[in-house]
Amino acid sequence: MLLKSGGSGAGGSGGVALPELHRRLRWVALAGIGALIFLVARLWQLQVMKGEGYYERTLDQVVKDRYLPSVRGKILDAKGVPLADNRPAFNIYMTPGKPDQPLPAREELARLLGLSTDEIEQVDHRLAVGRKRDPKKPILVLEDQGRDRASLVEQALQRLPGVEVHHEPYRFYPQGDLAAHLVGYMTQMTSDEAERMLTTDTSELVGRYGLEAAWENYLRGKKGIERYAVDARGQRLDEKTAATLIQGDRVTEAVPGANLILTIDLELQKLAEKAIKDARVPAAAVVMVEPKTGKVRALVSRPSFDPNVMTGHLTRQEYEMLRKDPRKPFVDKALRATYAPGSVFKFVTAIAALEDGISPDETHLCQGYYELSGTTFKCNGTHGKQDLIGAIQHSCNIYFWKLAETIGLDRIAEIARQFGFGTPTNLGLNGDGSGRIPTKAWYEQRTKYKIGYATNAATGQGDVEVTVLQMAMAYAALANGGTLHVPQVVERVEASDGRVINSFQPMVARQVATTSDSIDLWRKGMVKVTNEAGGTAYDHGHVDLVQVLGKTGTAEIRTHARKKNEEDERDIENWNPRRSHAWFAGWAPGADPDLVIVVLVEHGGSGGRVAWPIAKQIIEAHYGKQVKPEPQDPLEPTPKKVKP
Amino acid sequence: MRGTGLELPRATVGVSRWRRFRAAVDWPLILTVIALCAVGLLNLYSATRGTRHHAKFDTQVKWMVFGAIGFVVATTIDYRALVRLAWIGLGTAIVLLVVVRLIGEDAHGKGSYRWLNIFGMGIQPSELAKLMMILALAQLFQEGDLSRTPPLVLVAKGLALALPIGLIAIQPDLGSAVLFGLVVITVGFLVMQSVWPMVHLTLGSLLSIPILWETMHDYQKNRILAFLDPSSDPTGNGWHTRQSIFAVGSGKIWGKGYGEGTQNQFDFLPEHWTDFPYSVWAEEWGFVGSVFLLAIFTFLLVWILNVALSARDRMGAVICVGVAALTFWHVVVNIAMVLGLAPVVGVTLPFVSYGGSSLVVFLCAMGFVANVSLRKHGY
């Protein structure tokens, strides 16, 4: 053994030169070996026991993931005009690096693009946030830059270490606030949603409202992943090095989202929105439906918002302004908000009475007022002796109150439910409201049932509440002879390559159990409303192009429903929350209806004076357009031209 | 039984001086040192190739040549002559330490003055002091009985040994200062007739730790705190230790392969060629390579102690013990630091770390051992 050697060959003194060392050698050896064993044990712990874990970690430090954004599906109208589209946006990313590392690229970028102090502040803020999160992961510092800036940066990338420019698709709504409630908007996803969608990037947008939210799964598509290698500073390593470090595919391509093709006719939608603007009413909703299929052709709720602004660029002030607006621009007035329907609801009372065997020829005398359990109610005029058709034409309340006294509240509620009131329409959008159809039991639960509740319900007042879409679907059923459809707004879903993924057929909710007689009688009344003198609509205009059938409604606002903050509301033109809601419901052309139209003007006043002209303008514009290129009766105008 | 494991010629008469010299040269020592230098160069090449530091390889080779000359000189001149100059040498080192304090270069921008620029070469006087300290210790302990030395002289010599420690500590280079102290205490333990003075010295040093803590710079305190809890500051002071542990661990049993270490290739370990070369080695060669390198160092230490045991006189033996102690503490502190068992201090791994001063000093130190080995038979 080496250490035990004692002899020093020519030391002269005979023994070891350093006896102390010899004496203490075993202790020295013990201490030294102890230290070595300690180090080897640590190596064993790090490399053999935990080696695999550390190996993964070092690989994680080098290999980074980047999501490749998927192109979101478009939303198109029935003719293929885009309501929601994508445009390329140029985003500039930067690797923040560790706190003590200098960032020459930041100064260079500011100089190159001539950034404003605000922009530099934003860049610094985002870099600080990114540094906290992962100093080696590039973070978005300048969003949605112009093509000029993007190409400037791209040409100077050599001088800008850690800077990247990515072309990412951005959501874009070419129609602005047109059909905004239908299309909806997107906002940043919450951490819960991020978890559900298996992504870590919460800066991503997700459909928050309207079709964008309801059809998120189809529109979204699937993100791709690019895996790449970086060094300690976050600099990307070249492809060859990356290939040796990363096993398997380095790029998984993104799958674009599917396109939605709607049943909406953008032309009709535009006509409706224009008619509302022209009428200068503060808040309104219009629903147009194809009665044979239940396909929705236009869905308007105003006031609304610009989804382009809502999707990512909304400032706090803008949001506060929209939120505080008493007209509630965020509430979908066509689908979600519920209103007392007023006289447009009278068809329910009429049909209930006719089904119970009451003759349409039976007359009641309208003296302009009506006494019920000691209280006097006023009619909207003094109509004299009225039969059913006349009562519809003049919208005489007393006639319907008398009917209600005979048939009772529950009978009205039953028929109302047959026509889809009281339950959601199942459009599945924007919290599709169910409204309220009260019954005797409903009142008994709360207070005590009085006959006055039945008379209220008979004229669409009191506790009856419906959505505009429900009313449109009910009138579509009246137009087609009693088939209640489930409204449909998406015609089909197509993959980005045009392959049809899903095509939807019209769905029938139920066949309303009536004798066709009762519906026909109601229609006869509707003809008079819009086409004969004395009709509540006719007095405010007549459509000559096609025969229009309709019914107006003026729903009174109950005093306790009045809002408290009337002070704020005086600034809005034509806005008076005490005024009645104006309704019009009807269809055209008379014989073979292809378009049901329901107009509601919130606090608009009289249905005939306010709602009907809007419907009239839409119908005239729509059918006028259809007629002009191909005159239906070419013989008629030709001689006219010759005559003068 | 021969102590060297090497058959030496009994009869020297009639054999040429050259052949006698060749036979007396300590080949195992030289081969071990060459092996360690080769490992160092191999490792440095992997650590710096393809980066802006690639010139460091050439520099290291130059220093190695320079160190080889130092080795030959340190071997050739009789150590008894060298030891006679020990106190002058230590005095020179002390002067240089004072000079570096006054005009030295602040290489890291942390208010730490360690480097002296002489003829365009960066030199660390603290490294020279280590070498001179070994010779001075040999001079001090050449007589087994210290009581024969006049007490005043003893005190003066003790102060001369303590002074460099203080000067290095205020540079500040705490790692080197502690290492210096450890070497003195170790040599004292091994060569003094009684262990008690050293026991007292050790206890005294331990008790002075709180006072030391108070006088330390913040960055030094932070390093020690970061060592005690590396997760407290993962991107700052804990960064080196964390990344080093990742690198070592990720080598697993067989290593990632030469030049394949992602931790060192992609700069996760800043300055890994000076203080963390073992981490580079461990990542690329795994547990097997790490233990192998430790084994070479162990063999070197055993061999130096063997030379100490077979030295012809006390002076030579103390030189060897000093060199062994210096090497041992450098290896243990550096590797412990790499493995996250000690705070990050600037203590190099002998022959493997990049850096001229350390390399030349260790080659000279090995020259002393070869010197003692060469002269054990009275050559």
**A37 vs B: CB within 8 A:** no
Question: Domains plus CATH for chain A?
Answer: 64-261 (3.90.1310.10), 266-492+505-627 (3.40.710.10)
The verdict on a CB contact (< 8 Å) between A58 and B335 is no
- Whether residue B173 is contained in a domain is answered as yes
Which residue among B247, B294, B313 places its CB closest to the CB of A40?
A: B294
Calculate mean pLDDT across residues A425-447: 88
Across the interface, do B263 and A58 touch by the CB < 8 Å criterion? Answer: yes
Nearest to A346 by CA among A203, A464, A262: A464
Residue B136 has pLDDT above 50, yes or no: yes
* In the predicted structure, residue A124 carries a pLDDT above the cut 70: yes
How near does any CA of chain A get to the CA of B111, in Å? 17
Q: Which residue of B has its CA nearest to A12?
A: B312
Inter-chain residue contact A48 with B311, CB threshold 8 Å: no
Query: Which residue in this structure is represented by tokens 């392969």?
Result: B257
Residue A89 has pLDDT above 50, yes or no: yes
pLDDT at B31 over 70: yes
Q: Which residue of A has its CA nearest to B266?
A: A231
pLDDT of B376 strictly over 90: no
Cβ of B310 within 8 Å of Cβ of A59? The answer is no
Whether residues B312 and A11 touch (CB distance < 8 A) is answered with yes
Instruction: Give pLDDT, residue B104.
Output: 63
Q: How far is CA B137 from the centre of its chain?
A: 16
- B interface test, pick of A39, A136, A245 with most B CB neighbours within 10 Å: A39
| Widest Cα–Cα separation across chain A | 152
Nearest CB to B192; choose among A9, A20, A48: A20
Mean pLDDT of chain A: 84
Nearest CB neighbour to B235, from listed A6, A135, A231: A135
Contacts of A101 in chain B (CB under 8 A): none
What percent of chain B has pLDDT above 70? Answer: 87
Q: Which domain holds residue B100?
A: 26-374
Label residues A203-229 b or e (16+ Cβ within 10 Å = b). Answer: ebbbbbbbbbbbbbebbbbebeeebbb
Whether B51 is in a domain gets the answer yes
Lowest mean pLDDT among A243-252, A361-370, A540-549, B179-188: A243-252
Pick from A12, A42, A231: which is nearest to B266 by CB? A231
Asked if residue B264 is part of any domain, the answer here is: yes
Look at residue A445 and tell me whether its pLDDT is greater than 50: yes
Residues of B in contact with A48 (CB under 8 A): 252-253, 287
Task: Look at residues A300, A335, A290 and name the one whose alpha carbon lies nearest to residue A506.
Answer: A290
Considering CB atoms only, which of A5, A43, A232 is closest to B306? A5
Three-state secondary-structure class, residue B181: helix
pLDDT beyond 60 at A631:
no
Residues 120-149 of A with CB under 8 A from B: 135
CB contact under 8 A, B262 and A61: yes
Of the residues B189, B195, B250, the best mutation for testing chain A's interface (the one with the most A CB atoms within 10 Å of its CB) is B250
Q: Which residue type, as a one-letter code, is found at position A59? A: L
Residue B12: predicted pLDDT: 55
More confident site: A238 or A538:
A538
Query: Would you tell me how many other CB atoms lie within 10 Å of the CB of residue B175?
Result: 24
Q: Quick check: B202 and B184 in contact, CB under 8 A? A: no
Reported as a single tens digit per residue, the pLDDT across A584-626 is 999 988 888 999 999 999 998 888 999 999 999 999 999 987 6
Residues of B whose CB is below 8 A from A8 = 3, 309-312, 376
CA-CA-CA-CA dihedral for B198, B200, B201, B205, to nearest 10: 140
HSE (side-chain half, CA atoms, 13 Å) at B368: 34
Tokens of A56: 């993964």
- Specify the pLDDT at position A517: 85
Look at residue A18 in the predicted model and tell me its pLDDT: 75
Which of B268, B301, B377 has its CB closest to that of A232? B268
Please determine, for residue A461, whether its predicted confidence score (pLDDT) is greater than 50. Answer: yes
- Coil, strand or helix at B97: helix
d(CA A129, CA A168): 21
Residue-level pLDDT at A570? 60
Give the separation between CA A542 and CA B178, rounded to whole angstroms.
105
Interacting residues of A570 by C-beta distance below 8 A, sequence separation 6+: none
pLDDT surpasses 60 at A11: no
Task: Pick left, alpha or beta for residue A377 (phi over 0 → left; psi -120 to 50 → alpha; otherwise beta).
Answer: beta
Give me the numbers of helices (H) and strands (E) for chain B, helices first please. 16, 3
pLDDT band of residue B242 (cuts 50, 70, 90) is confident
pLDDT at A46 over 90: yes
Contacts of A26 (CB under 8 A, 6+ apart): none
Domain annotation covers residue B370: yes
Mean pLDDT score, B329-349:
90
Q: Look at residue B157 and tell me if it is in a domain.
A: yes
Q: Please check the confidence at residue B216 and state whether its pLDDT lies above 90.
A: no
Is residue A22 less than 8 Å (CB to CB) from chain B? yes
Residues 429-448 of A with CB under 8 A from B: none
A238–chain B Cβ distance below 8 A for any pair = no
- For position A247, what pLDDT does the model report? 75
Of residues A347 and A108, the one with the higher pLDDT is A347
For residues B228-261, b (16+ Cβ closer than 10 Å) or e, as one string?
Answer: eebeeeeeebbbbbbbbbbbbbbbbeebbeeeeb
Cβ-based contacts of A59 with chain B (< 8 Å): 250, 262
Spatial CB neighbours of B346, under 8 Å, sequence gap ≥ 6 = B114, B173, B175, B176, B274, B275
Instruction: Give the strands of the sheet with A284-290, arranged side by side.
Output: A295-302, A284-290, A595-601, A581-588, A549-555
Mean pLDDT, residues B347-371 taken together: 93
pLDDT tens digits, one per residue of A363-411: 888 888 888 777 788 888 888 888 999 999 999 999 999 999 889 999 9
Burial class (CB in 10 A: 0-12, 13-18, 19+), B358: buried
Give Rg (Cα) of chain A: 37
C-alpha to C-alpha distance for B275 and B67, rounded to whole angstroms = 19
Q: Which residue of B has its CA nearest to A62?
A: B262
Of B262, B341, B377, the CB nearest to A58: B262
What average pLDDT does the segment B121-132 reach?
83
pLDDT at A214: 92
In a domain? residue B146: yes
CA distance A151 to A458: 68
Chain B neighbors of A13, CB-CB under 8 A? 313
Report chain B's mean pLDDT, rounded to a whole number.
84
Q: Which residue among A19, A58, A237 sits closest to B247, beta carbon to beta carbon? A: A58
Enumerate residues 39 to 58 of chain A having a beta carbon within 8 A of any beta carbon in chain B: 39-40, 42-44, 46-48, 50-55, 57-58
Say how far apart CA A466 and CA A421 lie, in whole Å. 7
Whether residue A36 and residue B294 make contact (CB cut-off 8 A), yes or no, is yes
Give residue-wise pLDDT tens across range B276-317: 999 999 999 999 999 999 999 999 999 999 999 888 889 999
The total number of structural domains in chain B stands at: 1
Per-residue pLDDT, averaged over B332-350, amounts to: 90
The verdict on residue B2 lying in a domain is: no
pLDDT score of A26: 84
pLDDT of residue A612: 94
Of chain A, the percentage scoring pLDDT greater than 90 comes to 37
Interface test with B, best of A3, A4, A5, A21 (most B CBs within 10 A): A21
Q: What is the pLDDT of residue A76?
A: 94
- How far apart CA B261 and CA B246 sit, in angstroms, is 11
Q: Which of B190, B246, B376 sits opposite A9 (nearest CB)?
A: B376
Decide if A331 touches B, using CB distance below 8 A.
no
Do B246 and A61 count as a contact with CB atoms less than 8 A apart? yes
Closest in A10, A19, A47 to B290, CB measured: A47
Chain A residues within an 8 Å CB radius of B291: 40, 43
d(CA A470, CA A71): 35
Q: Between residues A60 and B5, which one has the greater pLDDT?
A: A60
Whole-number pLDDT of residue B120: 58
